[in-house]
Amino acid sequence: MITAKIQGLLFLLFLILLWQVLYILGTGVFKWWKPYALPSPRGVLLSLQKLIQNGTLIHATTCSIRRALSGFFLALLIGSVFGLIISASSFFKRNLKPLFTGIQSLPSICWVPFAILWFGLGEASILFVIVIGSVFSVSLAIENAIQTIPPIYLKAARTMGASRIQLYTSVIIPAALPGFLAGLKQSWSFSWRALMSGEVISAYVGLGYTLMAGRDMADINQVTAVMLVIIAVGMIVDKLVFSNLERHVLKKRGLA
Convert the pLDDT of each residue in 211-246 to its tens digit: 999 988 889 999 999 999 999 998 888 888 887 887
Provide the domain count of the chain.
2
Q: Are residues 31 and 46 in the same domain?
A: no
Q: Are residues 201 and 114 in the same domain?
A: yes
Q: Are residues 4 and 55 in the same domain?
A: no
CA–CA gap between residue 217 and residue 213 (Å, rounded): 6
Q: Are residues 149 and 247 in the same domain?
A: yes
Mean residue pLDDT of the chain comes to: 87
pLDDT at 131: 93
Its domain, for residue 33, covers 1-38
Global pTM value: 0.85
CA–CA gap between residue 31 and residue 23 (Å, rounded): 10
pLDDT at 256: 59
CA–CA gap between residue 74 and residue 69 (Å, rounded): 8
What pLDDT digit, counting tens, does each position of 125-144 carry?
999 999 998 999 899 988 88
Q: CB-based contacts of 156: which residues, under 8 Å, 6+ apart?
A: none
Residues with pLDDT less than 50, the chain: none
pLDDT at 189: 87
pLDDT at 222: 94
pLDDT at 73: 92
pLDDT at 1: 54
**Host H or E run for residue 206:** none
